[in-house]
Structure 1
Amino acid sequence: MSGSVFLNNIQFVPSLNEMRETIRDKFREKMKKITGRKEIILDPKSVGSLGLMIDITIMKECGIQKFLYLKDNLPPLEKYTNRIFFIPPKLLLIKTLTNYLQKVKKFTKKEEIERYEEIKKENHYLFLYPRKTILCDEILEEDGVYDLITVDDFDLGIIPFETDVLTLELDSDFRKYRMNDISSLYYITTSLLNLQKHVGKIPEIKWIGEKSKFVAEMLKKHQEETENQNQNQNAKKSEIDSLIIFDRKTDMITPLVTQINYEGLINEVFVIKNTYVELPAKWLDFNKEKEEKSQLEDNKEQQQPVVKTDPNKRQKYVLNSTDLLFTEIRDRNMGEVGAILNSKAKEISKEYGTRFEPNQSISSLRKFVQKLPHLQDQHFSLSVHIKMTQEILAITSKPHFSDRMENELALLAGEITDANEYIENLINKQDKIQSVFRILCLQSLILNGLKQKDFDFFRKEIVQVYGHKYIFSLYNLQKFGILKLSESKSNFPQIRKIFNLINFDFDKSDDHVYSVFSGYAPISVRIIQQAFEPGWESIKNQLFLLENSSFGTIYNVSKKELIEMEEKRKKTKVVLVFFIGGVTHAEISGLRLLEKDQGNKFHYVIATTKIIDGAYVSKSFIDPLVF
């Protein structure tokens, strides 16, 4: 199957296809300036997002002959070669780089002095993506290697994961987000300005939350300055009708809830990175699996050992809309996936059952043969999704998972006053600290804090069982306000009722918003649903029940122009929703399902700083020195 993540048939925002080509052209231009033999050094953990925009074919086209991963023991640089480091500005990566450059600088043997002079004359290049930071420059200076390398940045911008999903994939964004570091807000602003160079000026910007307000006002300011400088230039007609900027802190509850849509559960169980999931290699090798089964049968009587694929070997599998089966089931509740896969298996079996008869025409034979690759692709996809589903069901059927789900949903529905007994059991069993923080913080947010005795008890238990190193994590959780003492009554019962968040009797086969969390409709999706119908202004008293719920609208065109646009626009309004602080797969699915609920009057394109889940959020509060 195709590994391409970006489709050409973008219906609503065709100019998004230009973005990748612009980045590729920029890469070609940078590489063109570096003459001679080239080798590129990449970060294995971050190469995925880079590869979505600039694949290995483009790199080879630009004269890159060797690909290496950044590590402590890089081989010596070959003569007449340019070594290009293409990495994110992470402290550990920069320190690994400076260690390498210091080794280059410390040639001491007489026979190596001449070699060192050759290396100094050859170029080392450092391209930092998404942007260069002052800290990186300072580290290179302090370690005495700044003169050995040419430093530049390479802004990847907003990366299209899907036709309706864009992301900046800022790995450290949530840590910076909770620390109120506004540097990422400037980068978000720049990225949205660059996006508008492709899709046109977005006429309407709605924002909710303080960080969203900051970005919206920065966008307005930059756009006004640009317009003053280019008064005579004709503006491109916008392909996006409205931008909603959503501050994650307005709804911190949803990311902590366990996702039950198919794609969300794949992420919970396997972890999806840059649209790829790592699966056992034998799952993706039909021939090998058949060979092992055949060998097993042949050797049963002789009791000979079977040579099997290494069970620990993993292989990447792409999860995007090039996989038609995945597109059909990704947003569905997990309870419905098995029936759909069973139906697909019957369809494919029926297609394979069609046999070519000797008396049929050559044209009929050609049509039959042409169908085979498509059937093989479908069969392969079905096989992979069946195996993933079996693995997911094996996990979700266990008490460890069902108990967590039961307690989460009971807290959300107000069926229990707390999950203290469940949390205490997790601690006693020494479950993952991220899992403990996840449910503890969910309870704190729903109840608007913990009682003093509960707060003290859990803090004491966590430190005793997991160690004093987690004192800083507890401090971080308190500082951000995600774990706190109860000071006033919770607004959540009112929020739950007003926004119609809970319905355990929904029809799973009806693709409803409730399905993504098995009965809970995400607060974020409900807020976005109300943005235009009836509009936030008309429900402002209800919105003020939420944390960080200040909101507003900024217009980049006159009222008259806006009315004209509304009149000329086709039935569907294209809305770009940008989540500052991350968005979950379940929320993305929820917005897709919302389109159907709203009669396809709106099409949502989701953009974010990063795709996240509860484990990611919980881990971001743990001091990095712990890991």
Structure 2
Amino acid sequence: MGWRGEGRGEERGSRCVFAEMSSTHLSGGKVNISRIQDHARKHLFALLDKIDGTKDIVTDGALGSVMGLVANKPMLKEHNIKTIFHLHPGQLPNSNSENIVFIIRPQLRFIDHVADNVHNEVKRSRKDFHIFFVPRVTFLCKKRLEDRGVLGNFEGNLEELPWHLFPFDNDLVSMEIPTTFKEFHLESDPTTLHQAAQGLLSLQSLYGIIPRVTGIGPAAQKVFDFLKRLSLEQSSCQNPSSSSIAPSQIDQVIILDRSVDLLTPLATQLTYEGLIDEIFGIQNNTVKLPAEHFSSSNDNTPYTADTKDIILNSGEELFAEIRDKNFSAVGPALSRKARQISNQFEERHGDKTVQEMKLFVSRLPSMMANKQSLAYHTTIAELVKKVTDTHQFLEALQTEQELMNGIDTDKAHPFIEDCIDRKEPLIKVLRLVCMQALTNSGLRSKVLEYYKREILQTYGFHHALTLCNLEQVGLLRLQQNQRPYTVLRKALKLTVEDNDEASPTDISYVHSVYAPLSIRLVQHLVRPNGSRALQDVIGLLPSPAFDELQTSPSGSALPVPPSDSPKVVLVFFVGGCTFAEISALRFLSQQEVSDTNVEFLIGTTKLINGSSFIQSLSEPLDHQ
């Protein structure tokens, strides 16, 4: 099968590369996330099996890489898939497969690429064309296919593939749609919010109706409104006699609109996984790192040109242990692991019985895997440390922490001015300027205009649209009479000093001094009568806030789980969440001394960091 491109993965006609992922780790939580994978896989294979003969798949870049979370290469080969290609305009690569299957999101630019491919392919071969829209087809897409003269090529072969959520880990699912925040808050387009509601509905079909729905923010309310409507439509199609309702495996969902907490994604993440994402970028559980830092080995980790693809999920014991730690605690953890592995190998030198030697030999593969894992993460930690030890990183971090503590937020910041003078990456500058605007509850008109003028003169006037977008969604704003951040910081203890990063007692460890507002809200909402503690501050957050109980299709109350068992709460972020926020939720789940007794699941429209969040609101120079 052709899975590995000769060059970079996004070159024209390149074959789609995605890392092999074991799925055993998905069933490790209280809620079996592997059922989501099974559900997605079943839908894919059902559609593929309707097509006779050999097949090539052509998919847009984002879906191509995320397909590895649904099905691996051997599985796809069993269903007559020969090759997977990235979707590009122009001509498809040569292939002797009998069918071309396009799997794409319903976006008009992808339709134009598909039309190009079909027009070019019919000139040189006789193949059947099929198209699967994820998660559904739209009227505009069908109209564009017709306008481009290729709708007839898909007659009887146009399908919908209802992939709403992708399983990333045993406590994490994501829609992987990067445009949700921009589409709703900038363009007033609720399309992806409807898809989010469909995702929640699919979770309810797998794990039971979620009894309690809590939410904050306009996007959260919109998602819940869609969910209620979809649930009503679904129940009207069901047989009332088959309405025996089992207790839901999820007790509550908290839907958070990203607009409720715009500051957290801008702050530099200081957990191990968060820093890997900040520095190198994590896509679909995989990080691409410079291959020269890793000695050649017998493992089958994919190489692409000069990079090595390393999979990051809880299926690897060491990564599961260190991923959520503050980076300052990672070095000591790796040292302890090295001593432990060394001691295990030293056991072979002692006097052993035959039975003991057999036991040692049986453990050897696992020990070798642990040794390789340690070598990988030691190298990754060294690569991260090279960045975090630099003067530029430390000075930027100090500036962030000063802003979050309300220091020098009311005037142009010298470090931000220096960054502009040095023409540092614009994304870095915009993150800091937006952080200052948020922590100061808006910038004075003189300061805001100064920043905008300096940015446009230094980086180019074509960035005016991006600045306008940031203003429209509230990331850049003029100073208000109210000081919401100051009140929230004090009332919810958003900045915490002297939190031991090696043995933390508060979620603020994920940013060293700052506790994510989003997770502090969750922390209160899951406590008994916790919403009362928020009454004094809820008016400072984007409205509305709601807390409702769902009922069974017949209108009766849903079964209540035993009070002594841990409550399972799904926190669903509409507009994206960071790895630091996920680490903070895991930290809360693991606290033994707690009045909550909660296990968290995390759902999101996209896994983001500050750079990708700002990038999603930026206007590209080309609009292809």
Question: Normalising by structure 1, what TM-score?
Answer: 0.89
2:576 aligned residue: 582
Moved more, 581-590 or 224-233: 224-233
1:161 aligns with 2:168: yes
Contact 1:216–1:554 at 8 Å: present in 2 too?
no
Q: Where does 1:291-302 land on structure 2 (aligned, <5 Å)?
A: none
1:341-420 correspondence runs (5 A): 341-356=334-349, 360-418=352-410, 420=413
The alignment yields a C-alpha RMSD, in angstroms, of 2.5
Partner residue in 1 for 2:251: 241
Identity over aligned residues, as a percent? 30
- In the alignment, what sits opposite 2:477? 484
Q: Which range moved further: 448-457 or 140-149?
A: 140-149
- The 1:231/1:552 distance shift into structure 2, 3 A limit, reads same
Distance (Å, rounded) in 2 between the aligned partners of 1:330 and 1:34 = 42
2:226 match? 218
Secondary structure, aligned partner of 1:316: strand
Counting only pairs closer than 5 Å after superposition, residues 162-241 of structure 1 correspond to structure 2 as 162-179=169-186, 180-228=188-236, 229-233=238-242, 234-241=244-251
CA contact (8 A) 1:212 1:246 kept: yes
Aligned to 1:305: none
Q: Distance in 2 between matches of 1:492 and 1:126?
A: 48
Shift of 1:78: 5.4
Tell me, yes or no, if structure 1 residue 315 matches structure 2 residue 322.
no
CA apart distance, 1:135:
3.4
Which AA in structure 1 matches 2:599?
H
**Contact 1:250 / 1:547 at 8 angstroms: preserved in 2?**
yes
Instruction: Say if 2:317 is the partner of 1:328.
Output: no
Aligned position for 1:97: 114
| Aligned equivalents of 1:562, 1:97: Cα separation in 2 | 49
Deviation at 1:545, TM superposition (A): 4.5
1:555 and 2:555 aligned: no
Q: Which moved more, 1:122-131 or 1:28-37?
A: 122-131
CA contact (8 A) 1:573 1:603 kept: yes
Q: Kindly state the Cα deviation for residue 68 of structure 1 after the two structures are TM-superposed.
A: 2.7
- 1:293 matched to which residue of 2? none
SS at match of 1:624: coil
> Are positions 1:258 and 2:257 aligned together?
no
What are the within-5 Å matches in structure 2 for residues 467-546 of structure 1?
467-511=460-504, 512-535=506-529, 537-546=531-540
**Gap change, CA 1:344 and 1:98, over 3 Å in 2:** same
> How big is the shift at 1:383?
0.8
Give the aligned residue type for 2:258: R
Counterpart residue number, 2:427: 434
Aligned match of 1:306: none
Residue 45 of structure 1: CA displacement? Answer: 4.2
Letter matched to residue 39 of structure 1: D
1:617 aligns with 2:613: yes
**Which residue pairs with 2:22 in the alignment?**
4
The 8 Å contact of residues 577 and 606 in structure 2, kept in 1 or not, is answered as: yes
Aligned residue in 2 for 1:606: 602
Is it true that 1:131 corresponds to 2:136 in the alignment? yes
Question: What number of residue pairs does the alignment pair up?
Answer: 591
Once residues 427 and 91 of structure 1 are traced to their aligned partners in structure 2, the CA distance between those partners, rounded to angstroms, is 37
CA deviations 1:63-90 (Å, max 9, x no partner) are: 1123333334545665671111223334
AA matched with 1:209: G
**CA separation of 1:175/1:217 partners in 2, compared to 1, >3 Å: closer, same or farther?**
closer
The aligned residue for residue 56 of structure 1 is 73
Distance in 1 of aligned mates of 2:557 and 2:497: 41
Name the SS for the 1:127 alignment partner. strand
Mapped contact 2:56–2:97 kept (Cα < 8 A): no
CA contact (8 A) 1:72 1:99 kept: yes
Q: Distance in 2 between matches of 1:239 and 1:48?
A: 30
**3-state SS, counterpart of residue 162 of structure 2:** coil
* Structure with bigger gyration radius: 1
Residues 1:142 and 1:625: Cα distance change in structure 2 (over 3 Å) = farther
The one-letter amino acid paired with 2:457 is Q
* Partner AA of 1:476 in structure 2: N
Question: 2:59: which partner in 1?
Answer: 42
| Helix, strand or coil at the partner of 2:84 | strand
| Distance (whole Å) between structure 2 residues aligned to residue 589 and residue 397 of structure 1 | 23
User: Aligned residue for 1:337?
Assistant: 330
> Quick one: distance in 2 between partners of 1:18 and 1:33?
23
SS at match of 2:169: coil
Provide closer, same or farther for how the CA distance between residues 487 and 519 of structure 1 changes in structure 2, counting only shifts above 3 A: closer
Q: Specify the SS of the correspondent of 2:502.
A: helix
**Residues 341 and 519 (structure 1 numbering): CA distance in 2 closer, same or farther, change over 3 Å?**
same
Distance 1:214-1:542 versus aligned 2 partners, 3 A rule: same
Looking at secondary structure, tell me which structure has more helix per residue: 1
Which secondary structure state, in structure 2, belongs to the residue aligned with residue 438 of structure 1?
Answer: helix
Give 5+ residue unaligned stretches, structure 1: 108-114, 290-309
Distance 1:91 1:205, change over 3 A: same
In structure 2, distance between residues paired with 1:528 and 1:397: 33
- The answer as to whether partners of 1:6 and 1:163 remain within 8 angstroms in 2 is no
Q: Residue 249 of structure 1: SS of its match in structure 2?
A: helix
Question: What is the alpha-carbon distance in structure 1 between the residues aligned to residue 44 and residue 516 of structure 2?
Answer: 39
- Distance in 1 (CA, whole Å) between partners of 2:560 and 2:352 is 57
How far has the Cα of 1:221 moved from its partner? 3.5
1:451 aligns with 2:444: yes
Q: How far did residue 175 of structure 1 move?
A: 2.5
CA offsets per residue over residues 206-246 of structure 1, 9 Å max, x none?
A: 11111111222332333345445432221232101111111
Query: C-alpha distance in 1, partners of 2:63/2:230?
Result: 31
Q: Is the 8 A contact 1:544 1:550 kept in 2?
A: no
Q: Which whole-Å CA distance do the structure 2 matches of 1:311 and 1:59 have between them?
A: 21
**Which residue in 1 is equivalent to 2:15?**
none
Residues 1:263 and 1:76: Cα distance change in structure 2 (over 3 Å) = closer
Is it true that 1:422 corresponds to 2:415 in the alignment? yes
Corresponding letter in the other structure for 2:490: K
AA partner of residue 526 (structure 1): R
In 2, Cα distance between the equivalents of 1:375 and 1:485?
A: 58
The residue matched to 1:7 in structure 2 has which SS?
helix
Q: Which amino acid aligns with 2:585?
A: L
Task: Tell me if the contact between 2:21 and 2:68 (Cα under 8 Å) persists in the aligned partners.
Answer: no
- Once residues 256 and 297 of structure 2 are traced to their aligned partners in structure 1, the CA distance between those partners, rounded to angstroms, is 47
Contact 2:180–2:193, Cα closer than 8 Å, also in 1: no
Deviation at 1:314, TM superposition (A): 0.8
1:91-118: per-residue Cα shift (whole Å, max 9, x none)? 443322222222245x4xxxxxxx66xx
User: Tell me, what secondary structure is at the counterpart of 1:492?
Assistant: helix
CA drift at 1:473: 0.6
Q: Deviations over 1:596-616 (max 9, x none)?
A: 343660000010101111001
